[in-house]
Structure 1
Amino acid sequence: MNTDPLWIAQVALAAFADIAFACTLGAVLMSGWLSKEKAYATISPARMGWTRARRTALGGALALALANLVLLWLQAASMSGAPLVDAGASVWAVATTTHAGIGWTIALAGSVLLVLATASGGPMSTARLAAAALAAIVAAAGKASVGHAADAGAFSAAEVVQTVHLLATAVWGGVVIAGAFAVLPALGTSLARAFLIRIAQRMSAVAVVAVILVLATGIFNALRGLGGAAGVLEESAWGQVLIVKAVLVVTALIFGALNRWSALPRLKRTAATVDAHTVTGVMRVEALVMMAVFVAAAVLSHSVPGFALAG
């Protein structure tokens, strides 16, 4: 495993950016759902949940934009060989003349568009949801173009699959992380219990679709990464991290299934506070596992893939 400080910084920032991207998408969805239920009204018992969703979406978008800007700077330092503090002189050239730089610039542009889509303090309208969706696609496509999928060429099927994979993973992780730590706790009062149940049901339904896409695109990426040589799973750091990521994904699926098939149905029957806490608690464990998934994904994207090691 690479121990170069610049590599470690790139991996850490990439994981942070992925988590911020996920939180933004998850919070945007929940803000939209709560806006449709008029939770923004002053007298609504779910107003705090709507407020937290809105703030989380904007905070996540700002964090993503900052992370992408720093990643572009780190990319310039890596490609120019200049010290980190002197890499600013190379940023423009890298951003406009290199494939990786252009990709990070596109990702940065997408994150800035996300900031603009989430900046308003009003309800999340259909137009703003559409703008956020477009911005998310741009950000994901930019990042996909600087990863291993870019080896297949610009606008290749591999890049399209990776873009879908990034979006689906962000939606799954986002509704779980933003929901568990920001929105659902704000809907914990008895008066807001009905909102909590409906939002949790919508989160579960969206997560199912996202998981299907994550698994389908993840399997495609894994098979492509292996390059037909299953031995690299054990013989390379890339393969070992891939195994760790797969175990983490399965673990997250188990906790998600526990909520969907046990805790959430019980909450719907009882509407009890203890069952609401159970749903949120299980979701928090799943959220922590999903954060670990994003870290593993960042390590994979900055490691030599199996098909390259296999020749």
Structure 2
Amino acid sequence: MKVDGLWIGQVAMAVLMNVAFAFAVGSALLGAWLANDAQARIAPARPAWLRAQRSMQASAIVLVLADLGWLLYQAAEMAGVRLPEAFGVVPTMLSQTHVGFGWSVAFAGALVLVLVSFARQTNVLRNALLWLAVIAIAGGKAALGHAADAGVASAAIGMHTVHVLTTSVWGGLVLAAGLSVLPALGTSIARGVLIRTATQLSNVSLVAVVFVLLSGVFNAARGAGNSFLAIETSTWGHVLLLKLALVALALVLGGLNRFQALPRLRRTASTMDAHTFSNLLYLEALAMLGVFAAAAVLSHSVPGFAALG
């Protein structure tokens, strides 16, 4: 691993890809949960629903642009050329490498996600295309990482796809709700909607966290070659420990919300308790940004077992 301008640019694009994908998934879920309460133009939930729709559209567009930027940096790095010369390398990379295949699947999913996000009506076809696109993006992103070394049709790819998908559900809900959607439910007349949405968010996040942890243990053990020495002595291992610390912080903040702030909010429906829930969720969102950044660095670093030879 050579830390230079190309590597930094590639990691920066990967961070944008991770955050944008998660934001789109979280916004899609929140938009679906708020849809029934936002039918009337004067409904208390409508501002939050509109934010969810706009967040999904914006994040899907950012995802497409970040995908294109990452492709250019990856082509330059693989060919050992400068960034302007990478345009000529892209067709070969797309047609002859597993990275090109994985990127094509993820990019096709991102394009569908953009189109679906601007659909005027919500129906079965729209929802089916949405989640097929999400699965395609998760699978394509998994094929861009170290899991692809085991082959396209492998348990490593399948497990990493689950990890990417469930991390995006958990992190996406936290990011979209904490940074965009829930602040629009801050008024007292929207308190009932806030409590219902917060409960759904907490329940779905809990399920997603279980799969994140299980698939994360598998990925970490594989990357370390089942050796604690690889974690202790490699740069990859140090970044992994940072990611785990950020995940632990997010879990603590989420636990405080689920087991203290949310039950109190259900009992009192007070403004102070609503602010407590939203503030904890905001802090959890900041921690999740760090998690996605660390994940991007990990995917572009030499795995621990390889660093040890």
The Cα of 1:2 is off from its aligned counterpart by 4.0
Q: Helix, strand or coil: the match of 1:146?
A: coil
Q: Is the contact made by 2:45 and 2:193 (CA closer than 8 Å) also made in structure 1? A: yes
- Equivalent positions of 1:248-263 (< 5 A) are 248-263=246-261
Match of 1:296 in 2: 294
Q: Is the contact made by 1:45 and 1:192 (CA closer than 8 Å) also made in structure 2? A: yes
Question: 1:107, 1:31 → 2: CA distance?
Answer: 23
**Moved beyond 6 Å, runs of 4+:** none
- Equivalent positions of 1:167-246 (< 5 A) are 167-246=165-244
Question: 2:51, 2:2 → 1: CA distance?
Answer: 38
Deviations 1:6-40 (A, max 9, x none): 001111110111000000000000111111x2413
Question: 1:27, 1:255 → 2: CA distance?
Answer: 20
Identity %: 51
Deviations 1:134-169 (A, max 9, x none): 101101111111211011111100000000000000
Match of 1:9 in 2: 9
The Cα of 1:43 is off from its aligned counterpart by 2.3
User: Which of residues 156, 161, 179 in structure 2 aligns to 1:158?
Assistant: 156
Q: Helix, strand or coil: the match of 1:87?
A: helix
The Cα of 1:113 is off from its aligned counterpart by 1.1
The Cα of 1:75 is off from its aligned counterpart by 1.4
Q: Helix, strand or coil: the match of 1:93?
A: helix
Q: Is the contact made by 2:234 and 2:308 (CA closer than 8 Å) also made in structure 1? A: no
- How many residues are aligned here? 309
Bigger mean CA deviation after superposition, 76-85 or 60-69: 76-85
Q: Helix, strand or coil: the match of 2:107?
A: helix
Question: 1:218, 1:171 → 2: CA distance?
Answer: 14
Structure 1: runs of 5 or more not aligned = none
Q: Is the contact made by 1:75 and 1:101 (CA closer than 8 Å) also made in structure 2? A: no
TM-score by length of 2: 0.97
Q: Structure 1 pair 126/279, CA: closer, same or farther in 2 (3 Å)?
A: farther
Question: 1:39, 1:194 → 2: CA distance?
Answer: 13
Match of 1:285 in 2: 283
Q: Is the contact made by 1:259 and 1:279 (CA closer than 8 Å) also made in structure 2? A: yes
Q: Is the contact made by 2:186 and 2:274 (CA closer than 8 Å) also made in structure 1? A: yes
Q: Does 1:86 align with 2:106?
A: no
The Cα of 1:125 is off from its aligned counterpart by 3.5
Match of 2:46 in 1: 47
Match of 2:19 in 1: 19
Q: Is the contact made by 1:32 and 1:125 (CA closer than 8 Å) also made in structure 2? A: no
Match of 1:101 in 2: 100
Matched AA of 2:145? G
The Cα of 1:229 is off from its aligned counterpart by 2.0
Matched AA of 2:111? V
Question: 2:222, 2:257 → 1: CA distance?
Answer: 33
Q: Helix, strand or coil: the match of 2:44?
A: coil
Q: Is the contact made by 2:15 and 2:293 (CA closer than 8 Å) also made in structure 1? A: yes
Q: Is the contact made by 2:246 and 2:288 (CA closer than 8 Å) also made in structure 1? A: yes
Question: 2:182, 2:125 → 1: CA distance?
Answer: 25
Match of 1:29 in 2: 29
Q: Is the contact made by 1:145 and 1:159 (CA closer than 8 Å) also made in structure 2? A: yes
Matched AA of 2:44? P
- Equivalent positions of 1:88-167 (< 5 A) are 88-122=87-121, 124-167=122-165
The Cα of 1:81 is off from its aligned counterpart by 2.1
Q: Is the contact made by 2:51 and 2:180 (CA closer than 8 Å) also made in structure 1? A: yes
Question: 2:188, 2:53 → 1: CA distance?
Answer: 22
Match of 1:58 in 2: 57
Question: 1:282, 1:165 → 2: CA distance?
Answer: 24
Question: 2:27, 2:128 → 1: CA distance?
Answer: 14
Match of 1:305 in 2: 303
Q: Helix, strand or coil: the match of 2:57?
A: helix
Q: Helix, strand or coil: the match of 2:38?
A: coil
Deviations 1:251-281 (A, max 9, x none): 1000000000001111111111111111110
Matched AA of 2:87? G
Structure 2: runs of 5 or more not aligned = none
Matched AA of 2:301? S
